[in-house]
Amino acid sequence: MSQHHDEHTPTTALRSPANRLGLNYREVPARKVQTPIVDIHTHVYQTRSTALFLEAATAYGIRKIVSMSPLDEVDTLRAAYGDRLEFIAIPRWRDMDNSASFRRRWLADLATFREKGARRMKFWMAPPMRGEHGLTLQDPFFGPLIRTGIELGYDLMVHVGDPSEWFEPGGRYADAQRFGTKREQYPQLEFLLDAVAPRNVIAAHMGGYGEEPAFLQDLLDRHPNLYLDSSATKWVVRAVARQPEVLREFMIRNQERILFGSDLVVAQGGDFDHYASRYWAHLVMWETPYRGESPIEDPDADDPPRLAGLDLPAPVLHKLYCQNAERLGHRAV
């Protein structure tokens, strides 16, 4: 371990895919800044492990959790956890097809989510949407959904890219005829940005292209309504570790345009270490000069998986954790 590992030495904690270094995640590392944190990107379900997720979130300073929860669970979650949770409008993805009946249900759900306080809607446009349903956001299927979302007052979130490794030979999207290339995922994002401007759009998972900050910079420079979130923890950790100096400069340059997110999925069977590991990795990555191994197993990473701390300046951290989200209407408290 490097000189920056002293405060993260292994304990006797049980090793697991979320804790390959045997850390005690209940001993939260000292924070560089004291500010409430908005996690803009989660998927919370009402399960037995939801309380463990909230325990981990509280330990790591997460004050507001913005979730893509099923509409049928929103009332139950709100009754249990109150204003701690905020919701993003999503369709019933398990029933997804490109039929008129599915779209009518989606339109109705948008109105119901809005009545329940949702202020942002999500389009999941990862390559399987093209590969399995033949759809991109430029398809007429989405026109009524985009127009209705704007009429209802929604801002937006969209997932377009997936990890670059998955597009390589042997990867899950190697069939470019079916899924498109990585770059071919992005005309639909620019189409959406232009169609809804000046409404803001959060492109999830560092815009899906943390591996190429220059590409993201070009998008940000040309589309003032574009924002990014830092979610998909393993993916972002991997991208940062491979070029930390470049990503540090990118984070500082775009400090008004990036929001904190974890992409934690709170489902049956999750334990405290699983949830806390993602928040631990973000804390260390953004706030410290750490150089060493990541405690989270990652089959797409180098061996062993690496984690690089960017030691971001305090004003940048305040914007990342809270101020940018609040400026877009997602209040921490």
Q: pLDDT value at position 268? A: 80
How many C-beta atoms surround the C-beta of residue 104 within 10 A?
11
Q: pLDDT value at position 15? A: 86
Q: pLDDT value at position 2? A: 37
Amino acid at 110: L
Domains belonging to the chain, first-starting first, are: 3-327 (3.20.20.140)
Q: pLDDT value at position 13? A: 61
CA distance 157 to 154: 10
Q: Burial level of 269, CB count in 10 A (0-12/13-18/19+)?
A: exposed
182: CB partners within 8 A, 6+ apart: 161, 164, 167, 209
Q: pLDDT value at position 269? A: 83
Q: pLDDT value at position 12? A: 47
Low-confidence ranges of the chain (pLDDT < 70): 1-13
The string of pLDDT tens digits covering residues 277-318 is 999 999 999 999 999 999 999 999 999 999 999 999 999 999
Q: Rounded to the nearest 5 degrees, what angle is found at the Cα of 310, between the Cα atoms of 308 and 315?
A: 155
194-to-187, 189, 198, 222 alpha-carbon distances in Å: 11, 9, 8, 10
Q: Burial level of 169, CB count in 10 A (0-12/13-18/19+)?
A: exposed
3-state secondary structure of 323: helix
Q: What is the pTM of this model?
A: 0.95
DSSP readout, 46-66? -STTHHHHHHHHHHTTEEEEE
Q: pLDDT value at position 118? A: 98
The string of pLDDT tens digits covering residues 52-104 is 999 999 999 999 999 999 999 999 999 999 999 999 999 999 899 999 999 99
CA distance 293 to 291: 7
Residue 174's nearest CA partner among 127, 234, 125 is 127
- For residue 318, give both structure tokens: 């305040």
Q: pLDDT value at position 199? A: 98
